[in-house]
Structures are given as structure tokens and as C-alpha cells.
Amino acid sequence: MLSPSALIRGIVSRFLPAANADNPQVDVPPRFGRYGEQYGLSLVRKQHLLADEGSYFVTNNNAQAGILSSPATGFVATTPAMIVYNTDKASASGYKRVYLDILDLITTVVGSAASGLVNLQAALYLDNGNRYSSGGTEITANIVGPNADLSPKSIARVWFGALTATAASGAVRALSPLRVVRPAVSGTVLDVVGETKHFNFGAVEALLNGSITIANANNIPVPLPPVILGPDTSALLYLWQNVGATNVAATYAPELAWFER
């Protein structure tokens, strides 16, 4: 019997290879990932296959207790609300990348201000190194894999809350420098307890179509660009209550999901 390597042979190409024109007379090798998987169009739209192989992870603040968010009233590079860091090193054999999937933020205490609140805004950046400096809550210890048969170890570290980050490096990238997440309920109240803001990284769905009832607890989808963290790189999500005098930041129960390959 032929060995598997003799039955199927191809090229390992994590990066996009050169395109081939349609031509029934020309043979081309199949494309493989570095773990031997053959590239194809999946029939499964959900993340079960990633969980099945032990590469999908989730984390939250245990018991879904709320965490006080950033008190910023505008974009400040050193005051993100979340940092995700890939602890792998490029020099390590078989290093992995971190692919962010979804982030849910459930409001447990509404943000407020003395006057002048306009809306909740967000931004998304990438940078080299671990940008975390101090503050907030580290929820790395709560990382679990959703496959009950496996106990994989994640390479990610995650912080959420009123964080202080180090200064941006020269390699910083603005993936989404400004998103308006929701209008304020009033000039003194930001949003509503029980509201869910669903950040979807690499979403193919559109933004919310039409207006929301600003005084209700809504389910607000926020599509964002895909995020892939190479070794020793960070993703930084910023949240701020725009304008507002003497702001008191909202408190959120965070739940983050991602995969590593």
C-alpha cells in the first residue's frame, strides 16, 4: 500500500501563493497549511472544527462580573480598554498566530457624565511587543478551550478595563481608528444595563441597519477588520465616552473568543 505522502503531495503555503489561470492542460500542486491540512472550502460555517482540534479559546471575567472600562473622553494611545498579546516568539520552532473572533461586552453599570455626553466610540490598533503597562483586570487565567476532550494551553494574554499601555512603537497600525458604537441615552447617561455590544473581527455581516431605541438595552453588532497577531504582537481595543464633562466610565462583563494556529 502506498504511504499517505505518496498519495497526496503539495506545497506548504501559509501566505497567499501566486494565482494560476484557468487551464485544464496545466497541473498545479495542491496548497497545504504548515500542519499538513489541505486548503479547501469548508462546509461548516461555525467554529466547531477549530474547537475540535483544540485551537479555539474563550475567556471572560469569571461569574461575568463587570469590569470598569476606560475613563477616556477621546482617543489616547495609552488608555485602551482591552489588550490581547501573543506571547509566542518568532524564534520559537512552530510559533503560532492569534486570530481574534468575537468580543461581547454586556453593560452592568451605565456610563455617565455631568453633561454633554454624545456617544460611545471605539478604535482598533495593532502594535509590536506587549503594550500592557498597568491597571485593569487580567483575565488570562480564565482562558479555556470549549472542547471537553482536550485541555489545550493558550499562548495569549488578555487584559480588560481601565488600562495603561506603553507608548506606541513606530510599527503601530490603525486598523479601525474610529467607530461609533452607540449614541448616548442622554447628555448624562451613556447606555442601558443589559445591553450587549457584539464586536465581530473579520465579520462579513453589515453594520446595524437603521436606528436603535437609545433608551433600551439593545444587541448592537460591530463588525471590525480581521485581526491576526504574530509572535510578540498586541491588539488594542479603545473605548471612550465622547465629549461629556466629568465622565464616569461604563462597566462591562467581557467575553472574548479567538483561535490559535
Report the number of distinct structural domains present in the chain.
2
Residue 142, SS3?
helix
> Are 92 and 3 members of one domain?
no
pLDDT (tens digit per residue) in 115-129: 999 999 999 999 999
Give every strand in the sheet of 233-245, ordered side by side: 132-138, 156-165, 82-86, 233-245, 115-128, 173-183
Arithmetic mean of pLDDT over the chain = 91
> Are 27 and 94 members of one domain?
no
> Are 161 and 232 members of one domain?
yes
CA distances from 255 to 116, 126, 208 (A): 30, 20, 21
Instruction: Give the max Cα distance, the chain.
Output: 77
> Are 229 and 128 members of one domain?
yes
> Are 232 and 127 members of one domain?
yes
Q: What is the pLDDT of residue 6?
A: 63
> Are 62 and 27 members of one domain?
no
pTM: 0.88
> Are 57 and 141 members of one domain?
yes
